[in-house]
């Protein structure tokens, strides 16, 4: 499920950087990223808050769907806050526990709380991770929740002062099933995300450009709307997403960022009224 943003559920190391090039709608894109960073101390704490003009999660405009609130409020944005605590177990192993809380802006009936845990092991510039995420949504029609497992891998290439990081994330929904009235997706459905992130310094280490490109493959996680108006939980291409963020480091522990993004859906995804979707947002992050 947007149920921002970080591979976006691999929020762990994103949290350690706190202001890195992860502004792809922390709504969830942020959560689905692995970032490499050698731990400098045994713990890390990050707190960030931001706004997204739409809640785009795995190609779906989440709050646009009438099941999550007032039909007249299609396209509601979100205000979110994220807190993450990281334990640097060894120089190559970290465990991060985080929480992400979001509220609909124009659709004030929508509220979501995600709690996640991620273990990451690095081998040079290669990062391997495994994690768990619990989603809890408070729409007008009743509470929904989901248990999800995820694994991911990323590798960072360095080109001068710039970095290019291709990554792979796989997300498996344990349940409950959506047919029970409590689940947000089919039990045993999944989602595969291929993503490339880059960080290009513009002015020292203070201002940088952070473009990204991702491709999602759906395995009955997102439904598409058929011609007869029913939901088809399909297998295949989900969406292509691209965006550009501009992180600005205010101090060593404070970063502000703004971003713009675009998503193209290959199918008539449920609740997403147009194949092409544009949105943007901003955040401020604190690292301790």
Per-residue pLDDT at 64: 76
Under DSSP, the state recorded for 13 is H
The pLDDT confidence band at residue 13, using thresholds 50, 70 and 90, is: very low
Q: What are the angstrom distances between the C-alpha of 53 and each of 90, 121, 280?
A: 39, 34, 6
Q: Structural domain of residue 38, as residue ranges?
A: 11-287
Please say if the pLDDT value at position 12 is more than 70.
no
The pLDDT assigned to 107 comes to 87
Long-range contacts of 147-151 (CB under 8 A, 24+ apart): 147/173, 147/174, 147/175, 148/9, 148/172, 148/173, 148/174, 149/174, 150/7, 150/9, 150/10, 150/118
pTM: 0.84
Domain membership of residue 2 (yes or no) is: no
User: What does the pLDDT average to over 20-34?
Assistant: 44
Residue 75 domain-assigned (yes or no): yes
Q: Check residue 89 and give its pLDDT.
A: 97
Q: Is 126 helix (H, G, I), strand (E, B) or coil?
A: strand
- Residue 186, in any domain of the structure: yes
> From CA 59, how far away is CA 151, in angstroms rounded?
20
Could you give the CA distance from residue 100 to residue 31 in angstroms, rounded to a whole number? 9
The C-alpha atoms of residue 213 and residue 197 are separated, in whole angstroms, by 7
pLDDT at residue 41, rounded to an integer: 86
What count of other Cβ atoms lies within 10 Å of the Cβ of residue 284? 15
**Residue 184: what pLDDT?**
93
Classify each residue of 118-139 as buried b or exposed e, where b means 16 or more C-beta atoms within 10 Å of its C-beta. Answer: bbbebeeeebebebebebbbbb
Does residue 139 lie in a domain region?
yes
Residue 127, domain member (yes or no): yes
Instruction: Give the least confident one: 7-11, 30-34, 182-186, 270-274.
Output: 7-11
CA atoms of 46 and 20, how far apart (whole Å): 12
The model's confidence at residue 140, banded by pLDDT at 50, 70 and 90, is low
Which pLDDT score is estimated for 214?
98
Number of domain units in the chain: 1
Is 4 part of any domain?
A: no
Residue 196 contacts by C-beta under 8 Å, 6 or more apart in sequence? 164, 165, 166, 167, 212, 213, 214
| Measured distance CA(128)–CA(34) in Å, rounded | 8
Q: How would residue 74 be classed by pLDDT, with cut points 50, 70 and 90?
A: low
CB 51 within 8 A of CB 78: yes
Is the pLDDT score of 222 beyond 60?
A: yes
Distance (Å, rounded) from C-alpha 235 to C-alpha 1? 16
Q: Give the CATH number for residue 253.
A: 2.40.160.40
Backbone phi, then psi, for 73, in 5-degree steps?
Answer: -100, 40
- 19 occurs within a structural domain: yes
Rounded Cα distance between 53 and 35, Å, is 25
What average pLDDT score do residues 244-271 get? 95
Contact 128, 102 (CB under 8 A): no
Least confident piece of the model among 1-10, 54-63, 128-137, 203-212? 1-10
| Higher pLDDT, residue 60 or 139 | 60
E strand or H helix at 77, and its extent? none
203 located within any domain: yes
């Amino acid at each position: 499920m947007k149920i921002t943003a970080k591979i976006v559920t691999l929020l762990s190391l994103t949290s350690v950087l706190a202001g890195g090039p992860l502004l792809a709608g922390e709504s969830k894109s942020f959560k689905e990223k692995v970032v490499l960073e050698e731990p400098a101390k045994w713990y890390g704490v990050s707190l960030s808050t931001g706004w997204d003009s739409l809640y785009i999660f795995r190609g779906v405009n989440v709050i646009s769907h009438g099941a999550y609130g007032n039909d007249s409020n299609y396209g509601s944005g979100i205000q979110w806050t994220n807190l993450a605590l990281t334990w640097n177990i060894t120089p190559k192993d970290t465990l991060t526990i985080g929480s992400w809380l979001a509220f609909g802006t124009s659709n004030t009936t929508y509220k979501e709380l995600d709690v996640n845990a991620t273990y990451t092991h690095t081998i040079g510039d290669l990062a391997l991770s495994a994690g768990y995420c619990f989603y809890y949504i408070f729409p007008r029609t009743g509470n929904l929740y989901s248990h999800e497992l995820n694994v991911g891998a990323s590798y960072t290439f360095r080109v001068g002062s710039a970095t290019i990081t291709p990554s792979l994330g796989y997300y498996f929904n344990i349940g409950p099933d959506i047919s029970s009235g409590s689940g947000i997706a089919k039990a045993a459905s999944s989602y595969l995300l291929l993503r490339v992130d880059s960080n290009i310094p513009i002015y020292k280490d203070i201002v940088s450009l952070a473009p990204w490109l991702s491709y999602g493959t759906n395995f009955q996680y997102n439904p598409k709307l058929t011609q007869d108006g029913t939901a088809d939980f399909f297998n295949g291409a989900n969406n292509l997403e691209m965006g550009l963020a501009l992180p600005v480091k205010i101090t060593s522990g404070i970063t502000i960022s703004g971003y713009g993004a675009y998503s193209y859906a290959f199918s008539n995804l449920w609740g997403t009224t147009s194949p092409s979707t544009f949105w943007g947002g901003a955040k401020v992050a604190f690292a301790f």
